[in-house]
Amino acid sequence: MQQEPFDAPVTVEGPERAPRQMLAEQTYGGHASLHDESTADSLGLSGAPIEGPTHFSQFDPLAHLLWGDAWFERGCISAHFRTMVVEGEGVTARATRTSATRADISAAKADGSPVLAGSITAAPDVPTALDERRAQLGDPGELFIVDQMAVGDRSGPVTSSVDLGTPNGDLYPFSLEQKLDAITEPSDWYRTERNPWGRPILPMEMVSVLTQKVGADFPVRGPSVGLFLDLEVKLVAGPIFVGQEYVLEREVVALGQSRRTESSWVRTDVTDAESGDLVAHVLLHSGVFKESYAGYPADRI
């Protein structure tokens, strides 16, 4: 690898944006989600939060500024979500490049509250923020909601695609076109063939929709209410294209719990259905609120 002429970190910052809430009508397991106002209120939250991956779009221009088109071919965003955001709140994204292929990232509200922290990288083999976070995991202890899951459990294959006009099911009740009308960083690259690859590409924030719209594969006790705690989208041979069919295979790579949640780490491998080539990995750490599950032992909450 060519040596960088200077080793001083380079920081880039985007403008403040006000991301839109797109999941108010989301349902799963026959009930409303955390993004419903009444459900959020029942859990003591200040409002129905915007889905965490929505904030990923604010990093696309910053990463492209640092690494050019390679960002959409072999870029990775790896983030721990820290504070929920409700519609109307402003968010500013920042990236500090610490090497030729990695930058540390953060996003914050206008009052300084941290929204997320993590890394962006420009090569699939560069260690990420969630690599470092997972290395610190210990024994999850006794579990009562994700207790039917085990590390090494696998599921799939299933197929998935995202086209421009079709809503993406109960989990994502909006189309890509509707998302692009509301996205914080619009680009013709997402709608037209006028880009370096000659086909519309998915924004980074929509890759998790591609992998999660087909629903859960592993048993979680419920009814219960979940949320995204950490998410990593890693392109190996991208971009991921609009309207292209992909094959998804999943593996449970870790289990955990905190004071309020039980959680699972699930990696999804994304393969091009036509070529058979691996194009991406998506690592999702999803939690379930203990108090949202009626069967949870009262003395453990």
Q: Look at residue 31 in the predicted model and tell me its pLDDT.
A: 46
Q: Is the pLDDT of residue 217 over 90?
A: no
Please say if the pLDDT value at position 173 is more than 80. Answer: yes
Which tokens sit at 207? 């890759």
Distance CA 78, CA 36 (A): 26
Angle at 254 between CA 128 and CA 282, to 5 degrees: 50
> What are the structural domain ranges in the chain?
10-300
Is the model's pLDDT at 1 over the cut of 50? no
Rounded to an integer, what distance in angstroms lies between the CA atom of residue 30 and that of residue 40?
Answer: 16
120 with 26: CB under 8 angstroms? Answer: no
Q: What does pLDDT average to over the chain? A: 90
Average pLDDT, integer, range 50-66: 95
> Which tokens hold the place of 140?
């999850």
The two structure tokens encoding residue 260: 């309020």
Sheet with 10-13: strands ordered across: 10-13, 91-97, 102-109, 114-121, 76-81, 226-235, 278-289, 261-272, 246-257, 154-160
| Extended strands (E) in 130-173 | 154-160
Q: If you average pLDDT over residues 227-242, what whole number do you get?
A: 96
Per-residue pLDDT averaged across 250-265, rounded?
96
Find out whether 95 and 14 touch, Cβ atoms under 8 Å: no
Q: Among 52, 27, 20, which Cα is nearest to 205's?
A: 52
Place of tokens 């719990």: 257
| 220, pLDDT greater than 60 | yes
Least trusted range by pLDDT, from 104-113, 224-233, 250-259: 224-233
What is d(CA 234, CA 71) in angstroms, rounded to the nearest whole number? 10
Q: Which of 172, 178, 130 is nearest to 285 (CA)?
A: 130
Q: Is the pLDDT of residue 128 over 80?
A: yes
Token pair for residue 278?
A: 């691996």
Q: Could you tell me where the beta strands, DSSP code E, fall in the chain? A: 10-13, 27-28, 31-32, 76-81, 91-97, 102-109, 114-121, 154-160, 226-235, 246-257, 261-272, 278-289
Average pLDDT estimate for 270-284 = 97
Percentage of the chain exceeding pLDDT 70 = 89
10-300: CATH number: 3.10.129.10
Distance from C-alpha of 62 to C-alpha of 159, rounded to nearest angstrom:
31
Q: What's the pTM?
A: 0.91
Cα atoms in the 13 Å half-sphere on the side-chain side of 260: 11
- What pLDDT digit, counting tens, does each position of 77-121 carry? 999 999 989 888 999 999 999 999 999 999 999 999 999 999 999
- Across the range 213-238, mean pLDDT stands at 90
Angle, CA 91 vertex, CA 85 and CA 92 arms, to 5°: 150
